[in-house]
Amino acid sequence: MSPTSSRIASWNTALSSKPGNFDLHISIDQITGTVPMEIRTGRLLSNGPGWNKYDDKVIHPFDGHGYLRSFSFNPDGSVDLKARFIETPSYVLESESNTFSVRGFATNPSDKFWQNIGYTMPRNVANTTIYRWGDQLIAGWEGGEPHALDPVTLETNGTETFNGLIEDKTTLAHMYHDPVDNTMILVNIKMGRYTGLELHEIDENHNCVRTRTAEIPHTAFIHDFMFSEHWILFGGNQLSLRPWAFLKQVMGSGTILNAIETNTNAPGELILVPRRSSDPIRRIKLPKASYVVHFVNAFEHSDGTLIVDACVFHDFPFGEEFGYAGRNAPFDPYLPEKRETQRLYRITVPPDTDVGTWVPLSQYGIDFPRVPQKEYGQNARYMVGATRADKLHSDPFDSIIVIDLHNPEHPSQLWTAPNPDTTFVGEPIIASDSETGIEHILVLLSNGVEQQTTLNIFDANNIDEGPLCSIPMPLLPVAFHGEWDPVGTGV
């Protein structure tokens, strides 16, 4: 098998893996190295699509049913893996029929357009994010309400509306814990000619302590946001509608994801919404057309200058994510390489101005960025992200990178997976020990050729020295986003 065909085969096997619900104990004699003491009794949570293939046809991973994985680290150094599908109504329906029947963002159930016309139940697959908040796990999705799960059994408890606050509202999958206010920030959006925003801050008892509404004066692609002490901020991410493609979507032969495109004639923008007042939004012009899929962090200097770190595309073709090329074609890991690589920028916004400046923080194409949880909204020390060692592309990822945010000119730390042609790197997660302050980085590797997923754990200060331990397990489907849960399955 040629390197090209091996890469394609590995990527397809990893994306199409469907081990289903299971429990697995991984003993210490199966682990290479030793699980660090500081993370024992905590766990890694990981969410992503767990069902991307129906018979011989694939679906876009954005439409795959949510599949939650919980990696619990035991006091003796062993690991318990619990994996469960999130039982949304669309999952229950399709698991009973074993057919793809609910129309998604990027996938139609039938090749016959007339069978796709009309409205069925929303395909809320709860497959994008996962958070521990109070006594629940919260699984986010882009087009509806999040779902709540039992933190121990992973049993699905239905949608979470936070006492009716977001009932029947489109809620961003990304949410953020403000470690200073100890609130969860979540955002409802309403798409149209203008983009409506509702911003809520929730305490651990699910009570709303602050709400703000705002409007972006154009159609915007909003997946992520960020916050600082006084601002909640979004990428302007201006979209255009492709009229013919939109008509095809209405008539059942296209999808909503193929009906939109980036408006590269519009200037790049940040949208700043005052967090603690009803003052008007600020629209900050950026040096060129910009599309932020994921933010890194934001903070403010004492003089009011806002600093924003973000992973930025200057153009983005919707519908080809993860190498999706349609229901009848295999996933193509080379397809993402044809688009422009996203870059990590530090954006500076002085007070009382509508113009921002930026500088690149790395020569690598970076996504899935993280800073330590206790430093969100503040001047974080470092960030970790997924990248490609070749610097020419970003995904599919083969490496992780750590960048010193206090001195970005310092050489970055880089670690590249063995057999990078067939091994794919997921989102790196930072695990912090509250007592010692010691931090580790956890990342899942997927190799479809070897039919194996490996969880690697690194010293956050020395990732280029390689993993402290490697935990093997059967092949799991490629995930989207995760979370470190220091409480684990305890109270």
The 10s digit of each residue's pLDDT in 418-476 is: 999 999 999 999 999 888 889 999 999 999 999 999 999 999 999 999 999 999 999 99
Q: What is the DSSP string of 306-350?
A: EEEEEEEES---TT-GGG---TTS---TTGGGGSPPPEEEEEEE-
Edge to edge, what strands does the sheet with 231-235 contain?
226-227, 231-235, 269-274, 282-285
Evaluate whether residue 210 is within a structural domain. Answer: yes
Tokens describing residue 135: 């006594």
Residues of the chain with pLDDT > 70: what percent?
99
pLDDT digits (tens, 9 = 90+) for 308-367: 999 999 998 898 999 999 999 999 999 999 988 999 999 999 998 999 999 999 999 999
Evaluate whether residue 491 is within a structural domain. Answer: no
pLDDT of residue 438: 94
Q: Whole-prediction pTM value?
A: 0.96
pLDDT of residue 1: 66
237: left (phi over 0), alpha (psi -120 to 50) or beta: left
pLDDT of residue 115: 82
Evaluate whether residue 429 is within a structural domain. Answer: yes
pLDDT of residue 435: 85
What is the domain count for the chain? Answer: 1
Evaluate whether residue 64 is within a structural domain. Answer: yes
Evaluate whether residue 490 is within a structural domain. Answer: no
Evaluate whether residue 435 is within a structural domain. Answer: yes
pLDDT of residue 76: 97
The pLDDT of residue 491 is above 80: no
pLDDT of residue 119: 59
Number of Cβ atoms within 10 Å of the Cβ of 137? 27
pLDDT digits (tens, 9 = 90+) for 269-299: 999 999 999 999 999 999 999 999 999 999 9
pLDDT of residue 2: 77
Evaluate whether residue 469 is within a structural domain. Answer: yes
pLDDT of residue 259: 83
* Domain enclosing residue 435, as ranges: 3-485
The pLDDT of residue 255 is above 60: yes
Q: For residue 334, give Cα distances in angstroms to 257, 337, 365.
A: 20, 5, 15
Q: For residue 3, give Cα distances in angstroms to 203, 419, 424.
A: 51, 11, 14
CB-neighbour burial class of residue 196 (10 A; exposed 0-12, middle 13-18, buried 19+): middle
Evaluate whether residue 367 is within a structural domain. Answer: yes
